[in-house]
């Protein structure tokens, strides 16, 4: 029915009776996250606000409740694949931002992770619940220096705040297959009281024919600042050079469980995959701190550059466990907006990332390549 966290079998695929209730306390999380002197601690700190950290912890736990605990994998967008290549800025990119990867004449190495939705590492690619798809981009600016874009294939987000999103997930968890006899279900009550969340859930999210034939959207706005100090807010859009193409539901159902990742490996093996990185620029009076608010399509869209992907990562599973993407830019020339989701998402990624890395030590369970 709905393809984002509220599909036919999302909860049924992982019965709660089989979930592993194994969570880190906040004190352990802080020890794991802050106890390492690695680059991620300098460039992606855990928020100082204990309330943000506590909320991030609750969100990770709620994902575990819905999808099950899968050591070594992300609690959301668990199934993925890494590809590497380079970013070349467009001629006018430096007029928008003074960020180093937008400077004329530069080429910046990138690592890109494509992923399916949900926290289920073996979710079939042709399952409607695997939408929206994810595309996270890391720009390697120097030795242990980077900035990222985290995007997905739905233009928007169901809630403005993390607390609202936690309530959304709790309502979903309470609306298991066994609760369908009662009407309305908790998720139906929630969506009835939150029209923006309902609009997001009902937004069409078709299955793409390829990760390379899908468009991706930044969830939150950023403030781009140029050499003159002039700033303008914008939202990322990543557009495939090959064009967008989706499958009908009936056609998707006939595809194999791993067809998108198989096709991605085959496609990059025979030639380059190209995307254009764009930014939709905010106009006067546009809301820039609410991911549920769309800007008019009449707003200017500028090209920032091109991503060219050429190589699948050989040590894919190991690298996926290690890399932690950051939704906050943390680079001169691109500033975070006041969107309340940004710090929270960064905390979720860091907490779950450290837990994922910790799964490499002291566990005998075999971790696949998804």
Can you spell out the DSSP letters for 340-370? THHHHHHHHHHHHHHHHHHTTSS--S-----
195 occurs within a structural domain: yes
229: left (phi over 0), alpha (psi -120 to 50) or beta: left
Read off the pLDDT of each residue in 83-89 and give the average, rounded to a whole number: 98
Task: Mark residue 2 as left, alpha or beta (left: phi above 0; alpha: psi -120 to 50; beta: remaining).
Answer: beta
- Confidence check: pLDDT of 18 > 50: no
**First-residue to last-residue Cα distance in the chain:** 26
Give a yes or no: residue 365 inside a domain: no
Q: Is residue 334 part of a domain?
A: yes
With respect to residue 247, please indicate whether it lies within any of the assigned structural domains: yes
Q: Mean pLDDT of all residues in the chain? A: 87
Higher pLDDT, 2 or 317: 317
Give the percent of the chain with pLDDT over 70: 84
**Within a domain: residue 4?**
no
Is 61 contained in some domain? yes
Contact 310, 267 (CB under 8 A): no
Q: In this predicted structure, what is the pLDDT of residue 176?
A: 74
Which residue range forms the structural domain that includes residue 319? 16-358
Percentage of the chain modeled with pLDDT above 90 = 81
Tokens of 258: 């791993």
User: Cβ(219)–Cβ(327) under 8 Å?
Assistant: yes
pLDDT band at 20 (very low <50, low <70, confident <90, very high): very low
48, 60, 348 from 31: Cα distances, Å: 14, 17, 15
Q: Which of 299, 275, 286, 18 is nearest to 153 (CA)?
A: 275
pLDDT interval class at 364 (50, 70, 90): very low
**pTM check: above 0.85:** yes
Tally of structural domains, the chain: 1
Q: Alpha-carbon distance 320 to 271, whole Å?
A: 23
- Residue 178's pLDDT is 54
pLDDT of residue 367: 35
Give 235's strand partners: 280
- The string of pLDDT tens digits covering residues 152-178 is 999 999 999 999 999 999 999 999 765
State the pLDDT at residue 46: 87
Residue 27: per-residue pLDDT: 35
Q: What is the mean pLDDT of residues 237-248?
A: 98
- Give which of 220, 173, 216 is closest to 19, Cα–Cα: 173
Residue 134 in any domain: the answer is yes
pLDDT over 50 (residue 354): yes
Tens digits of residue pLDDT in 33-72: 333 333 343 457 888 899 999 999 999 999 999 999 999 9
Sole residue written with tokens 């994922």: 356
Contact status, residue 279 vs residue 301, Cβ threshold 8 Å? yes
For residue 251, give the CATH number of its domain.
2.40.180.10
Residues 46, 277, 263, 77, Cα dihedral to 10°: 20
Interhelix angle 162-173/50-67, nearest 10 degrees: 20
- Strands 301-312 and 134-142, how do they pair? unpaired
CB neighbour class for 22 (10 Å; exposed up to 12, middle 13-18, buried from 19): exposed
Pick 361 or 259 by higher pLDDT.
Answer: 259
Distance from C-alpha of 29 to C-alpha of 352, rounded to nearest angstrom: 9
| pLDDT bracket for residue 28 (50, 70, 90) | very low
Q: Is 183 inside a domain boundary?
A: yes
- Cβ contact 324:44 at 8 Å: yes
């Amino acid at each position: 029915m709905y393809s984002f966290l509220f599909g036919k079998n999302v909860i049924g695929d992982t019965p709660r009776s089989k979930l592993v209730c194994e969570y880190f306390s906040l004190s352990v999380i802080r020890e794991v996250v802050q106890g390492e002197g690695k680059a991620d601690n300098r460039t992606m700190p855990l928020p100082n606000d204990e309330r943000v950290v506590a909320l991030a912890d609750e969100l990770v736990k709620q994902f575990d409740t819905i999808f099950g605990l899968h050591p070594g994998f992300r609690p959301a967008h668990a199934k993925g694949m890494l590809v590497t290549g380079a970013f070349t800025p467009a001629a006018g990119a430096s007029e928008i931002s003074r960020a180093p990867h937008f400077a004329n004449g530069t080429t910046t190495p990138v690592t890109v992770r494509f992923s399916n939705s949900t926290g289920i590492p073996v979710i079939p690619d042709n399952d409607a619940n695997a939408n929206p798809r994810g595309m996270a981009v890391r720009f390697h600016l120097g030795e242990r220096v980077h900035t990222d874009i985290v995007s997905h294939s739905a233009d928007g987000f169901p809630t403005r705040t993390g607390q609202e999103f936690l309530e959304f997930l709790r309502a979903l968890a309470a609306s298991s297959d066994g609760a369908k006899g009662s009407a309305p279900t908790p998720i139906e009550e929630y969506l009835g009281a939150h029209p923006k969340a309902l609009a997001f859930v009902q937004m069409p999210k078709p299955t793409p024919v390829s990760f390379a034939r899908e468009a991706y959207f930044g969830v939150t706005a950023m403030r781009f600042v140029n050499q003159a100090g002039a700033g303008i807010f914008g939202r990322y859009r990543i557009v495939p050079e090959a064009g967008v193409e989706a499958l009908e539901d009936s056609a998707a159902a006939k595809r194999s469980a791993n067809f998108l990742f198989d096709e991605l490996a085959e496609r990059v093996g025979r030639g380059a995959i190209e995307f254009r990185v764009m930014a939709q620029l905010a106009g006067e009076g546009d809301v820039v701190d609410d991911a549920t608010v769309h800007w008019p399509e009449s707003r200017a869209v500028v090209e920032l550059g091109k991503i060219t992907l050429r190589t699948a990562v050989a040590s894919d599973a190991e690298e996926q466990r290690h890399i932690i993407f950051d939704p906050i830019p943390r680079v001169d020339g691109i500033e975070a907006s006041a969107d309340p989701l940004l710090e929270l998402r960064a905390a979720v990624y860091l907490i779950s990332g450290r837990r994922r890395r910790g799964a490499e030590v002291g566990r005998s369970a075999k971790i696949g390549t998804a």
